[in-house]
Structure 1
Amino acid sequence: MHSIPDITFVGGGITALLSARLFAIAGANVTIIEKSRIGQESSWAGGGILLPLYPWRQKDAISQLTIPSIQAYPELAQTLHESTGIDPEYTVSGLLMTELADLDKARDWCAKYAIDGCTANPAQQKIFPQCKGRSLYLKDIAQVRNPRLLKSIKQDLLQRGVKIVENCSINKIQISHNRITSIASAAENFSVNHVVIAAGAWTGDLCRQLFAQTKQVQADIFPVKGQMLILDAAENTLDTIVLEDDRYLIPRRDGKILCGSTVEYTDFDKSTSEQAKQSLVDFARKLFPALESAPIIHHWAGLRPGTQLGIPFIDKHPEISNLAINAGHFRNGFAMGPAAAQLLYEIITNQPTSIDAGLYQFSASH
């Protein structure tokens, strides 16, 4: 007879993994159920910049989750590296924005959140001539290498006794007296205590499927495709993240340079296109001519969990007493992940919240 977990996560991306880790650290019996492989969807596909793109142009609710997450990452990355032997490649590479029409607004945001920002230095201006105007360099912004961070968290969870069930699509749910008693795949039934749906871009679709026979409140979360590619280069060819017009270059430690990304509303289509590939290559080589002869190693697509304003749902369900959701982080699952996990933990354990939980409720305007 298997013991019933204290908490069960449906979904296995960065949001679920970071959340599950907090409960495991607190001594809870935790299970994660993922429809494919852990961390292989949007979490694997992203670039790992630990800052939303142009955060001053987005709702303040996003910054509220980003700033404490930025502060949490150095210790998180070090702890994971030490406990698992897997280096998440947390790297303070800085972020250079080449041209900003709203530079004053950007500087106000930096001042509000104590982010160190300055104009591009002479060396950067030489490489990127467009920086001689309204540029902004945030020297303390870091990145992680998504697949390596995900692999390290998964290993950490296994070492903490978390049960991970992969290749298991939940498609049925039993509710009694406004409480979930069990969830099920086509092959297996899982008894539950608390349930958290953290299924990324599939969250909205999954909720509609599971609660089709009820009038329960739904989370309006939808897929937004992003295509990216990696170019090969020698180490130290580029030493900082560069952002221009919503596209970016991210230098990895081994010299690989990631270029992203498109924003496409194509439902659950994860196919890549030659048009997007050429557009990304053209951007990379125009922005940074040193990549002119750099070969393309890989081109892929992922599905981000979008909401109307990019603000995630982090909340207990208003009608089902043992259900919560942590999903809808759009492009910022890594940048907001640690604080989003902390907020979920505080909500479920009925603690005072470290940030305003009302910003992420079902009733909030997403």
Structure 2
Amino acid sequence: MQEILIVGAGIIGLSIARALRKEGVGRIKIIERKKTGKEASFAAAGMLAPHVEAERKDAFFKFCAESNKLYNEFVSEIFDETGIDVEFRANGIVYLAFTEDDLKKLKHRYEWQSKAKIKVEFLQAHEIRRIEPFVSPDVLAGLIYPEDGQVENRKLLAALERFLRSSGIEILQDTEITNLIARNSKIEAVETKKGERIFADVVILASGAWTSLIRLNNQSLTLSEIKPIRGQMIAFRTTKKFFEHVLYSPRGYVVPREDGRILVGATVEDVGFNKEVTNFGVDFLSDVGLEISPSLSNLKISEKWAGLRPMSSDGLPVLGEFPEVKNLFIATGHYRNGILLAPITAKVIAEKITKNVDSEYLRLFSPSRFLIG
């Protein structure tokens, strides 16, 4: 029986492990450089926004929309398996315009998306205020995307970890993989920072922003650089429920949680592996939140944090078999869509490994696209 080793215990690695287990794979081990689910997946806002963030109706949009459709079944099964409600809410996201320039772009967006058969409705200012009375009186108009929503990503991570541990899947924490040892175009083992070797029949790199730090036979992987892109966020807390929907603007977003937290995000910063929360970031996010809802000025910031999103050179995921090594798979580069894309990524990777199913997405997002010549 083959042993599968997954490097990375974020939302992608955990979801792939679960999918492999449900496909009948018996021997699975996960290795995490720090703590399970405490990097980008933990720092995320949990938005499921394939339509509100669509700039064109292309293959990547299709990938995102298809994963979004998998979410209801995905979280329902996880609830049955673990008893954890991950607060999946598919009640729509409202896109807001506050300036004349916002309004012009919003109308253009509505026009092309309607023609492209994307589900979207135009809302006048009074209609927005009726469904979200705490939105700023400066709002001019908006769009509602009824198929978008959110999930409480931290609870989802906890649920996935509970399922995997209860299924007997070992998760090695505080174990950093620095090198892959290959012979005859096949991985034999992975090597830790301490020089220890762990053997496996199949290796999956779900290592997020740290993927490019892992070497193959002590040489760089012939792969697009996966860059860390910092995203800072803040949260307020209130006993009164302010919002029913995720609220989105051209400058940021507000995500209401069931426990009274109101998340505001997010910065996009190319600063390497620096997870520092800055005064500039907090001020920017405060302005984002206050533009959407001046009522937030009455609340104190209760939490500040940052995460590092993994971005490839073309901004698209990197999925599938590594072109130079028979038993090495990669699932990274999800950038700002790791939570959204977890179900479909897990599905296509697990089906390829267990059934040799070649999804169109493995072709579209293959690491082979970065090979020269």
Q: After TM superposition, is the score higher than 0.5?
A: yes
2:66 is aligned with 1:68: yes
Runs of at least 5 residues in structure 1 that lack an aligned partner in the other structure:
none
Match of 1:6 in 2: 3
User: How far has the Cα of 1:68 moved from its partner?
Assistant: 1.8
Match of 1:36 in 2: 34
Per-residue CA deviation, residues 139-194 of structure 1 (Å, 9 max, x unaligned), is 33221111110000111111222111111011233211011111122163211100
Q: Which moved more, 1:191-200 or 1:71-80?
A: 71-80
Match of 1:138 in 2: 145
Alignment check: 8 A CA contact 1:272 1:299 kept: yes
User: How far has the Cα of 1:253 moved from its partner?
Assistant: 1.0
Match of 1:166 in 2: 173
User: How far has the Cα of 1:198 moved from its partner?
Assistant: 0.6
Out of 203, 224, 240, the residue aligned to residue 195 of structure 1 is: 203
Runs of at least 5 residues in structure 2 that lack an aligned partner in the other structure:
none
Match of 1:175 in 2: 182
* Residue identity in the other structure for 2:73: E
User: How far has the Cα of 1:316 moved from its partner?
Assistant: 0.2
User: How far has the Cα of 1:79 moved from its partner?
Assistant: 1.8
Q: Distance in 2 between matches of 1:235 and 1:227?
A: 25
Alignment check: 8 A CA contact 1:313 1:327 kept: yes
User: How far has the Cα of 1:106 moved from its partner?
Assistant: 4.4
Alignment check: 8 A CA contact 1:107 1:117 kept: no
Q: Distance in 2 between matches of 1:349 and 1:105?
A: 41
Query: Runs ≥4 in structure 1, deviation > 6 angstroms?
Result: none
Q: Percent identity?
A: 28
Q: Which moved more, 1:28-37 or 1:339-348?
A: 339-348
Out of 74, 77, 88, the residue aligned to residue 75 of structure 2 is: 77
Per-residue CA deviation, residues 52-110 of structure 1 (Å, 9 max, x unaligned), is 48433267232122112111111221221222122211123421111250544445446
Alignment check: 8 A CA contact 2:231 2:306 kept: yes
Alignment check: 8 A CA contact 1:227 1:299 kept: yes
Structure 1 residues 93 and 198 mapped into 2: Cα distance closer, same or farther (>3 Å)? same
* Residue aligned with 2:230, SS: strand
Which structure 2 residues correspond to residues 119-134 of structure 1 after superposition, within 5 A?
119=123, 122-125=126-129, 127-133=135-141
2:157 is aligned with 1:150: yes
Per-residue CA deviation, residues 30-53 of structure 1 (Å, 9 max, x unaligned), is 111000111100000000001148
* Residue identity in the other structure for 1:19: I
TM-score normalized by structure 2?
0.89
Match of 2:279 in 1: 274
Structure 1 residues 292 and 123 mapped into 2: Cα distance closer, same or farther (>3 Å)? farther
Q: Distance in 2 between matches of 1:354 and 1:124?
A: 40
Q: Distance in 1 between matches of 2:349 and 2:252?
A: 31
Out of 17, 20, 38, the residue aligned to residue 17 of structure 2 is: 20
Which structure 2 residues correspond to residues 280-319 of structure 1 after superposition, within 5 A?
280-319=285-324
Structure 1 residues 192 and 365 mapped into 2: Cα distance closer, same or farther (>3 Å)? closer
Out of 233, 236, 243, the residue aligned to residue 241 of structure 2 is: 236
* Residue identity in the other structure for 1:80: I
* Residue identity in the other structure for 1:192: A
Match of 1:337 in 2: 342
Q: Distance in 2 between matches of 1:5 and 1:97?
A: 48
Alignment check: 8 A CA contact 1:232 1:297 kept: yes
Alignment check: 8 A CA contact 1:98 1:130 kept: no
Structure 1 residues 238 and 55 mapped into 2: Cα distance closer, same or farther (>3 Å)? closer
Out of 194, 213, 222, the residue aligned to residue 205 of structure 1 is: 213
Q: Distance in 2 between matches of 1:121 and 1:350?
A: 51
Q: Quote the RMSD (CA, aligned, Å).
A: 2.3
> Larger strand proportion, structure 1 or 2?
2
Structure 1 residues 238 and 184 mapped into 2: Cα distance closer, same or farther (>3 Å)? same
Alignment check: 8 A CA contact 1:55 1:62 kept: no
- Corresponding residue pairs, total: 359
Q: Which moved more, 1:342-351 or 1:261-270?
A: 342-351
Per-residue CA deviation, residues 97-132 of structure 1 (Å, 9 max, x unaligned), is 112505444454466465353425734246344543
Out of 349, 352, 362, the residue aligned to residue 367 of structure 2 is: 362
Q: Distance in 1 between matches of 2:283 and 2:316?
A: 31
* Residue aligned with 2:48, SS: coil
User: How far has the Cα of 1:303 moved from its partner?
Assistant: 0.2
